[in-house]
Structure 1
Amino acid sequence: MSEFILQMKNISKTFPGVKALDDVELEVKHGEVHALVGENGAGKSTLIKILAGIHKPDAGAQFFFEGNEIEINKPNDATMKGISIIYQDLSLFPNLSVAENIYIGQDSHKRSWNKMNWKKIKNKAEDALNELESDINPNSVVEQLSIAQQQLVEIARALAFDSKLIVMDEPTSSLSSDEVEKLYKVINKLKKRGISIIFISHKLRELFEVSNRFTVLRDGKFVGSYVANQTTEQELIKMMVGRSVTYEKNQSKTEVGETILNVSNFSKKGNFKDISFDLRKGEILGLTGLVGSGRTELAQAIFGVSSPDTGSVKLFDKEISIKNSEQAVKHGIAYIPEARQTQGLVLEQSIVNNISLPVIKKLRNKFKLINRKKEVEIADEYVKTLDVRPPLPELNAEKFSGGNQQKVVIAKWLSADPSVVIFDEPTNGIDIGAKTEIHKLIRRLANDGIGVIVISSELPEILAVSDRILVMRKGRISGDLGVQEATQEKIMNYSLEGSGNVKTNQVANHSDEVTQEV
C-alpha cells in the first residue's frame, strides 16, 4: 500500500493570458494534515479546483489515489473517490434541514419507489454528527445555524460520504477563538480515524498548530514540501514570498487636520448604544473589540446599510442625512465590507465593471452612454497601483483569488474619490505580502488627507496601522487609546472587562501575532 493517499503530478493550468499553475505536484499521506500555503495568486485555489474536478488541467497531469492512477474530469469523480472539498464560502442549502444537506447527492436513503426515507436520513445524520460530538439538531434549518455549526454540517456531510480526504479552505476565517479551538479538536478526531486533510490558511499560528507537513506554492510554481516541526515561521514566509516580511506597531505621530466626520449619540437597539466619536483629516482610527461587540453594525449604520434609532452624523461640521448607501457615497463616504464576495463584488462581472460601479453615472456622456475608454483607463490604473494579479481587467471577478478580489473592492471605492473610507477586516484571508501592501495603501490614503476607519479583530494589525484606537464592548465604546499608549493587553482589558486587569494568557487566547499571519 502506498504511503500517500493522494499524489498529483505534472499539474499545469493555463487560462487565457496567464499560466496559473506550472508543473506543480502535491503529495498527501494517509491520516495527516497537509497545509497548502502560498500568497494570494500563488495557485492554491486553482489546484484545489482541479482536484475537485471543476477545472481541467493541461495535458500531462497525473492523479494517484491510494496508489492507483485515477481520472478526475468532473466534481462527481472526486466525490465518488472519497474526496470532499469544504470551501471558504460554504456550499450548503440554507433553506433545507441539516439532515437534508448532509445527504444531498446520495442514493442509499431512497426506497425502491423513490420516496424519501426520512427516518433513515435523520438517523444517518445523527450518526455523522455524533462522530463529531456535535449536539446540532438534524431537523434544524441550516440558515438558523452559526457559521461554526454550518462548518460542522459540511464536515459531517464529508463523513457521510465516507470521505478519505477532506480539503478545508480557510476554515477559521469567520470563527471566534473558542470556535477555532473546537475545530482543532474535530481535526484531531478525523486524523485519528485515518482521514487525511488538506488545510489552507493564511494564519501561520494555525498552520503550525494543526499541520504535519507543508507544500508551498509561489507564482504558480512548486517550491517544495516541508515537515512542519522542522521549519520555522520566517523560513515558511520567505519560501512563500521570496523575502522576509514583518510589520511592527505604528510609531508615527501623524499630523492630523480638521474634523471630517462626527458621529454623535448613535444607538441601535440590540447592536450599539451611545456611540460618539470624531474622525479627523489624515487620521487612521482603529476600531476593535471581540466578535459581537457591534463594530460592523456601527460601520454599516454610518454607511446607510441600516438606520440607527437615534443619533446624528456631521461631515465637515455639517449635519447630513444618510438613509441608504447611495447617499453615503454622494457624501464621500466609502465602506469596504468584510464579506467581499457577497457584499463587495459582482462576481459574474469583469474587474472593469466592478471598479466603475460607484462612478458609473459620471462616465456617461450626453447620450447617457458609458465612456468605455475612460472606464477601462480607470480600471487599468487601479489594477496597476494595487498590483491585482493576474493583471487582466476584463476577467470576471470570480476568477481571482480572495486577496486579489479584496484589492478590487478597494479599487472600486477609491475610484469614487471619497473623503472617508471605512475598512471592515481589510486583510481577512489575505497573505502577509498583500497585507503589508494594503497597510501601506491605508497609510497613503491618510497622508492624502482622507479620514480612515479600520475595523479589525487582529490586535497587531490595529496597532500597526492606527493613529488612535477605539475599543468596543457589548455595543459601547469602552476605551479610547492613542497608539503610543496602546498595547495588546490594554486593548483586551477594554474588550473583555471594559476596564481593569486581564491576564496575559487571556490576550494570547484572543489574538494572533501578526508575524504569524500569512
Structure 2
Amino acid sequence: MTEAPLIRLDAISKSFAGVQALNGVSFSIGAGQVVCLAGENGSGKSTLIKILAGVEKPDGGQVTIEGESFPALDPRVSVARGIQVIYQDFALFPNLTVAENIAFSAELASGHRLVNRRRIKTLAETLLKRIAVDIPLDARVETLAVADKQLVAIARALALDARLVIMDEPTTALTEREVQSLLAIIRRLKAAGVAVLFVSHKLAEVFEVCEKIVVIRNGHVVSDKPAAEFNLDSLAFHMTGRHFEMTVARAFDPEAAPILEVAGLGRDGALRDIDFALRPGEVLGIAGLLGSGRTQLAKALFGLLPMDSGEIRVDGEKVALASPLDAIAAGIGYVPEDRLTEGLFLSQSIARNIAVGRLDAFSGPLGWLDRDGLGGEARDWLKRLNVAAPNAEVPVKSLSGGNQQRVVLARWLAGSPRILILNGPTVGVDIGSKADIHGIIADLAERRLGVVVISDDLPELIGCCHRILVMKAGQIVEEIPGGSIDAGELAARLAS
C-alpha cells in the first residue's frame, strides 16, 4: 500500500484582477521528500507559496494535509499543520539575539507569559545542534552574515515542529561554500522526515538535492517528474518553452589601446596592488569568494570607495574618482549587486528610474522637464531591452527581478557609458531573463564598450568573459582565459 503524501494540492486556481495566476495546479509532496518548484518569474510560484502559507485563498481546488482537506488555509492553520516558509528576506528581528529569534514563535505558541532566558537558550541550542551549526546564541541577528541569518530562520522553523519547509530562493546571496552547507542541512532535514519545497533559479543546485521537480509555466503544471528524468537543458525548456545557448561576445582586439587602465590601486584593509587593463569590446570577469575584495574594487572604480594609492586612466587620461559623479563624467557606469536597495527607486515609475541620470538632457532653460521626451526615451529602452511591462509609467516594484535588472541597465545605457561594471548581473533572475542579459552583455561588447562582470555564477563568468581575474584577500592572484577552465576547477582555485 502506497503511503499517503504529506501535502497534496488538487486543481488549485487563483486569479488577480482578471489575470489567471494559477490554473488547475495539482501535485503532491511526501514526508521527507525534497521537491523543486521550478518556473520563470511570473509563472505562479509565489502565489502558490502564499496559498500554502495561508496568506492567499485559492479561487478553486483544495489542499490536503495528512489526509485532511482544506478549501483554504489561514496562517495559523498552516503553521499548526507544520508548514513553514523561509522567505528571501528571512523575516527575522534584527535587534533580537539569535536565541530570541529562534524561540520567539515557539514561545508565543506555548502561551508562556513570562520570559525564561534559560529555556529560550536551551531550545535554540538544541535546534542549532539538530542542523549541525554553531552560531553564538547571544549575537544580535543584525550582526550576522546572510548565510547565518538563513540558518537562524531554518532553526526557527523547526522550533514549531515543521513538517514542510518552503525555501524561496534560499541561495541567491550565498557563496558557493555556503550553498553546499545549506544543501547539506536540507539533506539532514530530509533524513529526519521533514519535507522541503525548494524554489531556486540556480538549476545546478536543484539536481544536487531534489528528488522530484514540479515545473509551472503560465500558471499551469507542465511537468511533474523525478529529477533524474531531467537535465539542465530539458528543465530550462520545460520552464520557458525555449532552448538556450550561452551568448558569447565576439573576440576583441587585444592590441587595441585600453579604455581603462588600473595601476597599483590600493586601500588599507581592502585592496592591494591592483593592476589590469580593459579594452574596447572586452568582457572582463572578476571572480572571488566573499571578502576577496571584488565588490570593493567595483566601488573604487565608480568613486564610491576612496583609494590610498595607485591611479586610474580612462582613454589614457588619468582620472580622479572621488565620487560617482566623477565616474559618470569619465564614462563609467555601475550596476550594483543589490538592485532593490542600491539600484532602483522602487515606488517610482520605470520612466523616472531610467531618466534619473539624464534629467539635464531633458530640461529647458527655465528648468522645465520635457516629459514627452523622457517618456519617449524610456519607451525606446523598454523596447530595445525587451522589458515586459504594460507601459513606462508603472512602478518599477511591479516588475519581475529580470525586468528590474533590465531597467537598471537601461538607466546606464541611456547615458552612453564607455565602461560598464556589472556586479552580479543575473542574481535572482529566472533562466529566460538570465539568457537575455547574457545577450545584452555580448551586444554591449559588440558596440565596443568595455564590460566588467563580477559574479558568483562561475559558468556565467566562463561563458561570457574573454578573461577572468581571480581575487583573494584584496589582490588579483591569477588571470584565466575565458572558456579555458570548467566551473569545478575554477571553484577549486577560488577555495585553495
Give the TM-score normalised by structure 2: 0.90
Where do residues 269-288 of structure 1 align in structure 2 (5 Å cutoff)? 269-288=268-287
CA-to-aligned-CA distance 1:296-331 (integer Å, 9 cap, x gap): 110011112221222222222222222222332333
In structure 1, how many angstroms separate the alpha carbons of the residues matched to 2:479 and 2:232? Answer: 33
Where do residues 71-470 of structure 1 align in structure 2 (5 Å cutoff)? 72=72, 75-105=75-105, 106-108=107-109, 111-112=112-113, 115-247=114-246, 250=248, 252-255=250-253, 257-470=256-469
Distance 1:89 1:360, change over 3 A: farther
* Letter aligned with residue 244 of structure 2: V
Runs of at least 5 residues in structure 2 that lack an aligned partner in the other structure: none
On the 8 A contact 2:470/2:476 being kept in 1, the answer is yes
* Letter aligned with residue 90 of structure 1: F
In structure 2, how many angstroms separate the alpha carbons of the residues matched to 1:52 and 1:416? Answer: 44
Distance 1:231 1:470, change over 3 A: closer
Give the TM-score normalised by structure 1: 0.86
In structure 2, how many angstroms separate the alpha carbons of the residues matched to 1:493 and 1:7? Answer: 41
- Report the alpha carbon displacement of residue 184 of structure 1 after superposing the two structures with TM: 2.0
Task: Point out the more displaced range, 448-457 or 7-16.
Answer: 7-16
Distance 1:179 1:494, change over 3 A: closer
In structure 1, how many angstroms separate the alpha carbons of the residues matched to 2:367 and 2:61? Answer: 50
1:506 is aligned to none
* Letter aligned with residue 259 of structure 1: P
In structure 1, how many angstroms separate the alpha carbons of the residues matched to 2:370 and 2:27? Answer: 46
CA-to-aligned-CA distance 1:162-183 (integer Å, 9 cap, x gap): 2221111121222233322222
**SS at 1:104 equivalent:** helix
In structure 2, how many angstroms separate the alpha carbons of the residues matched to 1:61 and 1:358? Answer: 48
In structure 1, how many angstroms separate the alpha carbons of the residues matched to 2:36 and 2:386? Answer: 26
CA-to-aligned-CA distance 1:227-279 (integer Å, 9 cap, x gap): 1123333322221122332338x584224643222222111222220112222
On the 8 A contact 2:259/2:278 being kept in 1, the answer is yes
- Report the alpha carbon displacement of residue 366 of structure 1 after superposing the two structures with TM: 4.2
- Report the alpha carbon displacement of residue 359 of structure 1 after superposing the two structures with TM: 2.2
* Letter aligned with residue 68 of structure 1: E
Q: CA RMSD in A?
A: 2.8
In structure 2, how many angstroms separate the alpha carbons of the residues matched to 1:489 and 1:234? Answer: 19
In structure 1, how many angstroms separate the alpha carbons of the residues matched to 2:39 and 2:302? Answer: 34
**SS at 2:108 equivalent:** coil
- Report the alpha carbon displacement of residue 295 of structure 1 after superposing the two structures with TM: 1.1
Does residue 25 (structure 1) correspond to residue 23 (structure 2)? The answer is no
- Report the alpha carbon displacement of residue 364 of structure 1 after superposing the two structures with TM: 3.6
2:39 is aligned to 38
On the 8 A contact 1:259/1:279 being kept in 2, the answer is yes
Distance 1:80 1:408, change over 3 A: farther
Runs of at least 5 residues in structure 1 that lack an aligned partner in the other structure: 498-518
Task: Point out the more displaced range, 20-29 or 337-346.
Answer: 20-29
- Report the alpha carbon displacement of residue 56 of structure 1 after superposing the two structures with TM: 4.6
On the 8 A contact 1:347/1:397 being kept in 2, the answer is yes
In structure 2, how many angstroms separate the alpha carbons of the residues matched to 1:237 and 1:2? Answer: 31
CA-to-aligned-CA distance 1:418-475 (integer Å, 9 cap, x gap): 2211011212233333222111111111111211111123333222222233222222
2:52 is aligned to 51
In structure 2, how many angstroms separate the alpha carbons of the residues matched to 1:17 and 1:408? Answer: 26
On the 8 A contact 1:251/1:484 being kept in 2, the answer is no
In structure 2, how many angstroms separate the alpha carbons of the residues matched to 1:65 and 1:366? Answer: 67
* Letter aligned with residue 192 of structure 2: R
* Letter aligned with residue 86 of structure 1: I
Task: Point out the more displaced range, 474-483 or 65-74.
Answer: 65-74
In structure 1, how many angstroms separate the alpha carbons of the residues matched to 2:14 and 2:388? Answer: 16
